[in-house]
Structure 1
Amino acid sequence: MSVACGFECVVVLGCMRWVWKRCTYIGNDDSATWPPATYDEFEPIPRLCRTILAVYEDDLHNPKFPPEGGYRLNPNWVVKRVAYRETLGNAPPYLIYLDHEHHEIVVAIRGLNLVKESDYKVLMDNKLGKQMFDGGYVHHGLLKAAIWMLNKESDTLKRLWVENGMSYRMIFVGHSLGSGVASLLAIIVANHGDRLGGIPRSLLRCYAVAPARCMSLNLAVKYADVI
């Protein structure tokens, strides 16, 4: 009896320890051992976050909700703005910005709109193990949105890259739902650079802000140089 009680106590304590660690675990723990980012690595992030916020504006010449300090964009360098009426539920709204100051072509994608049914349809179009990609798994709905965007904008992005000396970096950036689309768009282009005029992987970057779960860990590691 005493042996059985002792075994039960060990099991209970083990379960309690697991529950405690599970409940107190935070995302910051994942990167606790990572070295601090360098200035060059972090510098684009605040700037690109402002670009994402700019997607929410109807008119950047007369913004209604600018962050402190403004968007710091040149509205005349906005090549294209695509709203819900044009995406037809296939992807979140986005803009394409030709940043001559930093020599970048930026595709910025907005986050989940809580009142748009089409965004939920994209997000919910998935189940575990449904979509394989490059030896791993990706979110089916977000992959469809990324493919739709690439098919729609590949000619525009290719033209911008070629017209600017084939030297500008291609930046995909998004928040929440948009960051999942941006991440999958980046790995598609990394494998099919010919769609954008042969752009090399070294000129591709993706910045995912509060990203949706969009790919398996092995793919996240495989494309860590891009995303």
Structure 2
Amino acid sequence: MAISDDLDNPKLMPATRGYTQIDGAGVHKRTTYDEVGTACPPYIVYVDRRRNEVVLAVRGLNLVRNADYKVLMDNKLGMQMFDGGYVHHGLLKAAQFILERETETLRELLRQQGPDCKLIFAGHSLGSGIAALMTVLVVNNRKAFGNIPRSHIRCYALAPARCMSLNLAVKYADVIYSIVLQANPSKILASKGRTSWDELVDKLFTRDEDGKFIVNRDMVARDVVIE
């Protein structure tokens, strides 16, 4: 999931501000593809003691990993109702999978850090949708996290996946912050609605004789077949 196993001395330092503020000793857990299987992308649990935050961050879509596409495509319009609205079925299952594994860990880390500690979820692309739905689940089950105040829960969704209906997006706007780069046409297209999403899928995929999805050769370095 990371460039180097030693985060204090990475092989390639990202050319962005803030990386030097990351403390390798704060990494509580870093999962691998083998550990999460086909349920979700890998994720990291990090304790930011300087900011007094417990962070769970999920990586984005891996264009050459079949399982990520299965999560993304596991949805139909109106398939999954939730809290008076609709959410993406596959992303919700991934969010539930992570929380089933990590609720006890997050609760204990929050207890250790004290009552002022905040719980942060973050993700990019596919991971942002999972992070957003984890946030919704936690907000509705704060007792399992030591009765953490709603104001201490926050999600940062980078290039967010379209994962919930508008009424839910408005309902949780105080805890979910979306960061969108307008120069990314694929994210804009995917966020406009079902018709645009179908158009995007047509550009990204073709089907073989058995009806299996194959990623467009021009989009990634090698073919990926989704079973």
Task: State the TM-score, normalizing by the size of structure 1.
Answer: 0.74
What pairs up with 1:1-227 in 2 under 5 angstroms?
Answer: 55-59=1-5, 60-68=7-15, 71-72=19-20, 73-227=22-176
Distance of 1:224 and 1:70 partners within structure 2: 25
Residue-by-residue CA offset, 1:132-151 (whole Å, 9 max, x unaligned):
01000000000000000000
Larger strand share, 1 or 2 = 2
Larger helix share, 1 or 2 = 1
Aligned amino acid, residue 108 of structure 2: R
Partner of 2:211: none
The alpha-carbon deviation at position 166 of structure 1 amounts to 2.4
Residue-by-residue CA offset, 1:30-61 (whole Å, 9 max, x unaligned):
xxxxxxxxxxxxxxxxxxxxxxxxx5334113
Aligned amino acid, residue 98 of structure 2: M
- SS of residue paired to 2:121: strand
Could you tell me which runs of 5 or more consecutive residues in structure 2 were left unpaired when the two chains were aligned: 177-227
Task: State the TM-score, normalizing by the size of structure 2.
Answer: 0.74
Distance of 2:93 and 2:144 partners within structure 1: 17
CA contact (8 A) 1:56 1:110 kept: no
Aligned amino acid, residue 62 of structure 1: N
For the pair shown, which has the larger CA radius of gyration, 1 or 2?
1
Distance of 2:18 and 2:62 partners within structure 1: 22
- SS of residue paired to 2:19: coil
- SS of residue paired to 2:8: coil
The alpha-carbon deviation at position 71 of structure 1 amounts to 2.0
Partner of 1:21: none
The alpha-carbon deviation at position 64 of structure 1 amounts to 2.7
Identity over aligned residues, as a percent? 58
Query: Which segments of structure 1 move beyond 6 Å, counting only runs of 4 or more?
Result: none
Residue-by-residue CA offset, 1:52-97 (whole Å, 9 max, x unaligned):
xxx5334113323321257221001111101111001111111111
Distance of 1:56 and 1:138 partners within structure 2: 29
Distance of 1:223 and 1:151 partners within structure 2: 22
Partner of 2:198: none
Q: How many residues align?
A: 173
